[in-house]
Structure 1
């Protein structure tokens, strides 16, 4: 071998070694993010290197897993409830990178077995980043989970049996057209149309979503409220407000309610509230994007002290111009609108939480509890304390 050839040979392997060291350095610093041990195996399933010390039984498990894991994408294996292991085949190095046991939800964390939680979204982003770093290939979040989701025979069997039962017993679901009319009423802010669609009589029935009756009704409620929120957004309602309303209703149903009749009442209340909000938007016929910006900002910062000059600075206009435009389009001053929105927020807290009046006053960023009470009574005709008692009495 000539001198130049030897130089090229040594230089080539130094470059490979440098790249490998960079990958190893990268993986070591990804471990605290995925909160899992990372180990490297050769193509026969033998441990080449541990970047942190894994349990012996885990290494044996990984060695078995990788025998079926030579995929062209990050292969995620569910080994227990919400506990996963990810295997990546690194073709150039002829090795497997194994990202050890990780719990995707905190309820399934088990520190005794070295299983720590990494939130699913964080885990997903980390896996995509590692895959790209090691292979140069890109994969999207949707593709990552789609490629790793395969319905086993038991799931397919359950679905087939459920369809067969409906066919055998002559069961019908509520008509799709009726559901569409309900959704369209919310989308258009048509309160009377919503009433009519809900009052329709039809031969079908609401689907059964769980064996336990209350659980099934809660599942239906979650689906209805979620659909209603999306319809309201399509009708022009601020997305953040629609999502927050849905979260509030769903959390309340999940944690506070077990009476099927009361659950249905709250679901209908949610649908009508969405329809009313869209109706109000349509009635005002807001076409000024400046007003939308202001309302979005106020909604997102409702628990902060809101000043006209600060909102104007954020949007990039003068305070006088902003106040004039808002009053012209809304028929109310910007200051009064801010107060009204804070009172609305406080009403929700009084109804659905046990926070003290002082805490609610602070959350809504009123200058004092007494000032909060004055504004509240001016709008509702009663004090915050009486409002809470009235609502709680109505719940019993």
Structure 2
């Protein structure tokens, strides 16, 4: 059965490639296709804008009889790659995946090819702007401190201690603590707390997880500890923060409260 399926696909592929040659359509090479993502991951806004001007005139393979559906398929294909390229280049995975989900939700509500194309450019520039800020904020750190930050980003849901990080990056805990504070201007524990509270704000604004779930996911001792810490540094409780930010974010996308 599997061999038969493969043979049918081979026939369909052969026919498809023949028709493309007849129509003189030439698919972009991999370097050409990835060039836009290079601008994004490097935070090169000017280069990306030039690329987007060229992109408006580019031809793409036919993916649907419907022009709108064609744009939807292209949008999802591009943002899926963009999301992962940015994660590989240092963007926190929850931020990149969250952006991807939100832009796809927004795209899904659009009705015209023009609106989807405009959102595509907005999305690419948004990712590039975030990568530009990321690179600017990480240029002065030594390799070991960058390793430390990367470990924290990738283990936000775990209990993290200076000893655990030091063992992971093969560095003396006391020395890591001293160097980190000198380079970053925060202690490791303060940095971890700041990153976890930022992640908590993202989850409160863009998801429907309960405060208990968020506290557990981010490795806080319990919901009470999470709420007390959140209020101490943000000035409001997690529930009050969600009430102020959640509806504003999702009303335009048709999400339920």
Assess same fold via TM > 0.5: yes
Among residues 139, 144, 162, which one is paired with 1:308 in the alignment?
162
Closer, same or farther in 2 for the Cα pair 1:358/1:262, shift >3 Å?
A: farther
2:229 match: 371
Deviation at 1:298, TM superposition (A): 1.0
Closer, same or farther in 2 for the Cα pair 1:293/1:351, shift >3 Å?
A: same
Q: CA RMSD in A?
A: 4.0
Work out whether 1:259 is the aligned partner of 2:112. Answer: no
Work out whether 1:182 is the aligned partner of 2:36. Answer: yes
Distance between the aligned counterparts of 2:7 and 2:149, measured in 1?
41
- Contact 1:174/1:205 (8 A) holds in 2: no
Indicate the structure with greater strand content: 1
Closer, same or farther in 2 for the Cα pair 1:198/1:157, shift >3 Å?
A: same
Deviation at 1:350, TM superposition (A): 2.7
Closer, same or farther in 2 for the Cα pair 1:376/1:200, shift >3 Å?
A: farther
SS at match of 2:108: coil
SS at match of 1:156: helix
Work out whether 1:389 is the aligned partner of 2:238. Answer: no
Bigger shift: residues 207-216 or 303-312: 207-216
Closer, same or farther in 2 for the Cα pair 1:362/1:270, shift >3 Å?
A: farther
Where in structure 2 are the equivalents of 1:178-257 lying within 5 Å? 182-199=36-53, 203-229=57-83, 231-232=85-86, 236-237=89-90, 241=92, 247-250=97-100
* TM-superposition CA deviations, 1:159-201 (whole Å, max 9, x none): 3324534x4xxx8989999866633322422234334433558
Deviation at 1:296, TM superposition (A): 2.3
* TM-superposition CA deviations, 1:128-163 (whole Å, max 9, x none): xxxxxxxxxxxxxxxxxxxx8885222221333245
Distance between the aligned counterparts of 1:183 and 1:152, measured in 2?
31
TM norm structure 2: 0.70
2:122 match: 268
What residue ranges of structure 2 are gaps of 5+ in the alignment? none
Closer, same or farther in 2 for the Cα pair 1:283/1:344, shift >3 Å?
A: closer
Indicate the structure with greater helix content: 2
Where in structure 2 are the equivalents of 1:18-33 lying within 5 Å? none
- Contact 1:191/1:276 (8 A) holds in 2: no
Work out whether 1:153 is the aligned partner of 2:153. Answer: no
SS at match of 1:368: helix
Distance between the aligned counterparts of 2:118 and 2:3, measured in 1?
36
Q: Number of residue pairs matched?
A: 243
Bigger shift: residues 368-377 or 259-268: 259-268
